């Protein structure tokens, strides 16, 4: 049930809680201020084959590159 998966594996309509990042401090500190931090609930709005994942986080809409979405770990809700 409480599976931890990369953000890129969530399908449109699915939600998750951000748990951790597979990236260095620079990578992480770029995401925090945009609303992606541990404990934050995100919802996937749209996802494209090779392109970015479009999510909603903290009341804003973000497009996250595929490479980045692979490194953001979330717990599926």
Partner 1 sequence: MAMKVVALAGNPNVGKTTIFNALTGMKQHVGNWPGVTVEKKEGVFEYNGERFLVVDLPGTYSLTAHSIDELVARNFLLNGNPDVVVNVVDATSILRNLYLTLEIFEMGLKNVVIALNKIDLAEKKGIKIDAKKMSKVLGVPVVPLDAKDGIGMKDLKDVIVAVAHGEVEETPIIPTYEPAVEREIEHISKCLEGTKLVSKYPVRWLALKLLQRDEEVMKLVERHLGQEGLDRVMTHINEVEERYGKAMDLVIAGQKYEFIDGLTHEFMSYGRAGGEPFTDQLDRLLVHPVYGFIVMAIVFYFVFKFIFVFGLPIQNWLAEAFTDFGNWLAPHIANEALRGLLVDGIIGGVGMVLSFFPLVFLLFLALSFLEDLGYMARIAVLMEGILRKFGLPGKAVIPLILGLGCNVPAVMATRTIEDEKDRLVTMFVNPFVPCSARLSVISFLAGLFFPKESALVAASIYALAFTVAILSAWLVSHFVKGESGLFVIELPEYLVPSGKALLLHSWERSKEFVRKAGTVILVGALLIWYLSNYPVPIGTGGSYAEKLGHLFGPYMGLMGLDWKAAVSLLFGIIAKENVISTYGVLYGTAAAIRSAMTPLQAYVLMAVTTLYIPCIATIGAIRAESNWKWAALATAYMITVASIVGILIWHVGLLLGWGA
Task: Compare residues 36 and 74 and give the one whose CB is closer to partner 1.
Answer: 36
Task: Compare residues 5 and 62 and give the one whose CB is closer to partner 1.
Answer: 62
| Closest distance to partner 1 from the beta carbon of 5 (Å) | 18
| Closest distance to partner 1 from the beta carbon of 63 (Å) | 4
Burial label for 54, CB within 10 Å (0-12, 13-18, 19+), is: middle
Contacts of residue 34, Cβ cutoff 8 Å, sequence gap at least 6? 57, 60, 62
* Cβ atoms of residues 57 and 36 within 8 Å: yes
| Closest distance to partner 1 from the beta carbon of 76 (Å) | 18
Note the residues at the interface with partner 1 (CB under 8 A).
20-21, 25-40, 45-46, 48-52, 54, 57-68
């Amino acid at each position: 049930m409480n599976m931890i998966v990369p953000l890129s594996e969530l399908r449109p309509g699915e939600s998750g809680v951000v748990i951790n990042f597979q990236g260095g401090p620079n990578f992480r500190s770029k995401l925090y201020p945009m609303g992606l931090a541990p404990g934050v609930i995100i919802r996937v709005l749209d996802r494209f084959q090779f392109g970015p994942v479009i999510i909603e986080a903290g009341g804003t809409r973000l497009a996250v590159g595929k490479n980045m979405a692979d490194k953001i770990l979330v717990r599926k809700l």
